[in-house]
Amino acid sequence: MIILITGASHTGKTLLAQQMLDKYRFPYLSIDHLKMGLIRSNNTDLTPEDDDLLTEYLWPIVREMIKTAIENKQNLIVEGCYVPFDWRKDFGEEYLSSIRFICLAMTEEYIDIHFEDIKKHGSDIEARLHDACTPDGLKKDNRKIAEGFREAGEEVFLINEEYDLRELLNKKN
């Protein structure tokens, strides 16, 4: 089983992945860690701010890692924002049946009401050294993610009130 977690910034992707790691004891791959390893080792000229280019660069690597894990009958949690909206086109049914997809996004109303809490919890699992998020930036990112994945036919877990990511732990695909 592959659990593929994506979504907008600050939605709790890393926290959910950590909770799933604790519950299922599946290995966990952070696409952000892969990104920074490739950037810091000078294997790319891309920077952490090159989001769209990073998706194009990282997704083929992540996609093939997912395929390898499925072929080897291994479980894996993959988490990060560098998943293209049309990710399913890269997998045949023999792979798709082994992938549980979760996408997280927040509503603008949720961001308006809870911005200070969102920012406060931004480093719950990972230390964000330079967290320059703003309400407008979060709204733009969440809108783009929610609209893009919905247009691609994906279900988006929309955060619009107090929520507990643990409900996703028990949700069936």
pTM of the model: 0.89
What pLDDT does 118 receive?
82
pLDDT of the residue at 116: 85
What pLDDT is attached to residue 117?
83
Q: What whole-number distance in Å separates Cα of residue 67 and Cα of residue 5?
A: 16
pLDDT tens for the chain, residues 1 to 173 = 999 999 998 898 998 999 999 999 999 999 999 999 999 999 999 998 898 899 999 999 999 999 999 999 999 999 999 999 999 999 999 999 999 999 999 999 999 998 888 877 655 556 555 567 889 999 999 999 999 999 999 999 999 876 666 666 666 54
DSSP string, 18-62: HHHHHHH---EEEHHHHHHHHHHTTS-S--TT-HHHHHHHHHHHH
Which of 124, 152, 171 is closest to 15 using CA atoms?
A: 124
CB atoms under 10 Å from CB of 133, counted, come to: 16
- At residue 103, the pLDDT reads 97
- pLDDT of amino acid 146: 97
